[in-house]
Amino acid sequence: MKAQQRKPEKRPDEILDAATRVFARRGFEGARMDDVALQAGLSKGALYLYFSSKQALLDAILTRFADRFTNMLSQEMVEEASRSPVNAIKMLIARAIGLASDPTITLVPRLVMAEAMRDKDIAALYREKILDQVENALSILLQEGVRQGVLRQVRAPSLVRAIAGPMIMHMLLSHVFVKDGQAGLSPSVFEEDLLDILLGGLMLEPTR
């Protein structure tokens, strides 16, 4: 279907989708605007009618993702926190594993991880828009759990590492460092094990 026959008002989102795929595959530097255009079903020139530069495209991808992410940390979970922090953590982990297991949803986080290494601005943007949000949510859960006497008292930054870390690792092992010809760890099995470890601990008879 030719470009002019599709709805022009959808063009920015179409272009961002295309750019996300291409950037994730080739990296920002390695991606060519011609490839983005091809993916979007447009000519390169047309891209510049909607975005002023390659960098602007990257910024827009991140901003769009950050906005969407905000909606993922649902209100529902925050409410559950006051009732049962442990249940809220279970919900959070289950949902996060679902997201981390999806190759499409993880495109942007993977892209960000790669680009943040060389671009302080992107790192700062992601830090503020996503990571701080996660730390904040976990901090509330933790505080409530400690108050109710059901959770161990640890520092929030440690908790972020202990919970978000396994998610990142799962994402990397599932979509980047793939063992080919071998089925990855299934989300439900991982969920079961991770809840055992994080909630109950690795040791069977804790002595600490």
Partner DNA sequence: TGTAACTAACTGACTGGTCAGTTATTAATA
Partner DNA sequence: TATTAATAACTGACCAGTCAGTTAGTTACA
| Cα gap 76→149, rounded to integer Å | 22
Residues that contact a second copy, how many (by CB under 8 A): 67
Interface with a second copy, residue 205, by CB under 8 A: yes
Question: With the CA atoms of 9, 13, 19 and 20 taken in that order, what torsion angle do they form, in degrees rounded to the nearest 10?
Answer: 180
Q: Which does 103 bind (CB under 5 to 8 A by kind): DNA, a second copy, none?
A: none
Pick the binder of DNA from 43, 74, 148, 186 (CB under 7 A). Answer: 43
Question: Which tokens belong to 104?
Answer: 């499409």
Q: Which stretch binds DNA (CB under 7 A): 45-53, 109-117, 129-137, 191-199?
A: 45-53
Alpha carbon separation from 75 to 9, 71, 99, 111, 141 (Å, rounded): 31, 8, 17, 27, 13
Residue span binding DNA (CB under 7 A) among the ranges 32-40, 62-70, 155-163, 200-208: 32-40
Regarding 36 and contact with a second copy (CB under 8 A), the answer is no
Alpha-carbon distances, residue 172 vs 16, 75, 179 (angstroms): 23, 28, 11
**Interface characters, 53-92, with DNA (x: CB under 7 A):** xxx-------------------------------------
User: How many angstroms separate the CA atoms of 136 and 141, rounded?
Assistant: 9
CB 122 within 8 A of CB 112: yes
Q: Does 10 bind a second copy (CB under 8 A)?
A: no
Shortest Å, Cβ 2 to DNA: 7
Query: Which residues are at the interface with DNA (CB under 7 A)?
Result: 2-6, 8, 11, 31-34, 37, 41-46, 48-49, 53-55
